[in-house]
Structure 1
């Protein structure tokens, strides 16, 4: 069985490039580091380092072991924190996954409230728009169509719907309209605001196809903040979820889209936590309150509301 401490020493040597540098970083002697490496090589039966001049270089096997040990070591760290929480009588740990627009709109207030109510709670926040390894967060904010299957052992809490809106330069002829149709943007230069493989982008493209529109995405921003910057500069127009367009600079207008407008369905997928479920249930309740009664956020430079709309 591999020793996590020896793996930590090994990874430090790979990262720092030498035994002495790893020893200095870890507060160990170079002899102790060398002993840990020798013991790990015996445990694994692998040659992990080779001599190169006066130093050593990792073998291909060592590089693979280093890369593949990222997630196990992260999980080991989490387990150690759980043990420390139990030993010290703290409230434990809560992991929350979120997508970008929910992160800027809801997470600051949610985390502030949770920390105030559970001062000993250790919060682990993860952006879930990138590839995830390991167990799913205890509370995962997701974009799912209605009726999407829920993974076994979890439950879904429907939070809200998030209609897309048009984001236009203030001087655009349609900027003063109360509502426009997607087809009103035919022939415009479109700025994408999400990754092409994302759920949100697929929702938008499908809605456009349903009305016979094929947007010309001439600028690939792939995130909402950058897309808004392009719109403000007059480069083009963008259609994005209302939650992502809540904070706009003075030179940009937000216009509602008439039905059939694309819509995101936002949910929370919750992991049962048994006797330690109070913080996650409270987190869901706070999210519902934030959505039902949006307030202005201190971090919003334009003073826009934090809820969906």
Structure 2
């Protein structure tokens, strides 16, 4: 695991793993800190546990697995560097198309939407050499491009790609296949963004109808749609219905492993009706839970984190705590830059 050359004062190493023993300040008011390290190896149970967990959770081999790990923990610059190296050394079009797709997803997570579109188009261009326009494997890419245009507030373009995705899946999949719920959910979000709430609700209801038939009762995807339905009811002014659907979502998410962003969003969505009803104490309880997930488990550069900070600032504005408002506004602005 480790090859090293020792001198009297230094260790020059490659691929070594160390355990941090402790961190102490060298002297009072000093800017220097002492960090004793203990070298470890394959026999260390903590390291073995970590590498074992990575093998379970991260697909791929070699540098591909490392790139995926960097992406998963939000180290986007390191991930991009590794994926570019993999792209340069890719031996076939299939691998190149896959890497372009991953890079596009990463740029979406970073909020770099024009770059995301560019990488998705690179992936599509390769696939179109060998696949028909209605091939089922293209549906996910069309859906993801729709997500990017939705994030850019280009709703007509988003609808175009969501409908392409839905058309392919409707032809290729059984009527109640769980994958058919995804385009319905995204079409609902588009119409919600366009403030066409009745249309949004009809698409969310189509989505949940499929998910309730095709997925287990405690499946995380059912929770996502329940929360989306709750948010539309809030926007239509029905706080009681909104709270009912958000609590239904949370009952699932608190009892199964789910995407941290989706769970944080449900907490924020649940807090929002209470804020609008001026029950600021209850609202704050849910906002703080969403904020904690954001700060503990999400990369701070994600646009989704900026939305959570912005929504938190609205709550503190309602309670006239303006210094706290500025704290969260500035954090949102920093991510946006």
TM-score, normalised on structure 1? 0.24
TM-score, normalised on structure 2? 0.22
Q: Which has the higher contact order (CA 8 A, sep 6+)?
A: 1
Between structures 1 and 2, the one with greater helix share? 2
